[in-house]
Amino acid sequence: MEDNRSCFHRGLRDGMPIALGYFAVAFTLGIAAKNAGFSALQAMVESLTNNASAGEYAVFSLVAAGAGYLEVAVMTLVANARYLLMSCSLSQKLAPETPLRHRMLVAFDVTDEIFGISIAFPGRLNPWYTYGAMATAIPGWGLGTFFGVAVGNILPLRLVSALSVGLYGMFLAIIVPPARKNRVVLVLVLLSFAASFIASRWALLASLSSGIKTILLTVTLSLGAAILFPVEDEEGAGVPS
């Protein structure tokens, strides 16, 4: 059983590629922030407190268009709605006895990537593993936004886009190992790819945001998998103090 320090160091290590990917992706976000009138410092603070690409881009776009606070708040909620679903799933990964303070801290940064490595943690999730990943990922996102405002327009757009490819490689590194070990996981991964493609082309879903589409697909696939291929609950390895 790993202690809290070991889990934290492991999270730091696993969070490094996320931080590098975030730094690259946040460059383009910083350009949007600059176009909306944000300073480099303001944009960095916004990214440190709202670590969500789609949500932040929606905010910057609405601010640039002169939208009001209520409209910005509603759009941010819709764009980030999928994180509610991820949080519910991640809460089941924690030991039932996990204190509320740890649950709240973990919930602060439930991004797609951090959720991915946290849900893949063997056995019950030790919150200190997620804290380690957050300790590298959040600064990477904030600094990327800062430099995107400061020097983003200087860099070639193709270079910025190329840097962001690292996140896709990281996602593959998360899903490939379990897919190779479990045929059910492999089938679900392939179905999710196909369903995402169909949803992006289906006119009936064209008016829905990407966050809502993600929620619908996730609930449908996970519910089907839970009914057809139920798994036994894993015993925890202890609750951190």
- Can you give the pLDDT at residue 50? 84
- Cα→Cα distances 193→169, 186, 198, 239, Å: 15, 11, 9, 35
Mean pLDDT split into 10-residue runs, the chain, 241 residues: 87 91 83 87 91 82 82 80 85 91 92 90 92 94 91 68 59 71 85 86 74 74 81 54 58
Report the 10 Å Cβ neighbour count for 193: 11
| 128 neighbors 4 (Cβ within 8 angstroms) | yes
Contacts of 190 (CB under 8 A, 6+ apart): none
| 60 neighbors 35 (Cβ within 8 angstroms) | yes
- Can you give the pLDDT at residue 105? 93
Question: For residue 31, which of 131, 179, 174, 147 has the smallest C-alpha distance?
Answer: 147
- Can you give the pLDDT at residue 241? 58
Contacts of 147 (CB under 8 A, 6+ apart): 23, 27, 30, 40
Report the 10 Å Cβ neighbour count for 241: 6
Determine the Cα–Cα distance for residues 177 and 166; give it in Å rounded to an integer.
18
Whole-model pTM: value is: 0.70
Determine the Cα–Cα distance for residues 75 and 81; give it in Å rounded to an integer.
10
Determine the Cα–Cα distance for residues 134 and 100; give it in Å rounded to an integer.
18
Burial of 86 (0-12, 13-18, 19+ CB in 10 A): buried
- Can you give the pLDDT at residue 162? 63
- Find tokens 């764009």 and name the residue: 79
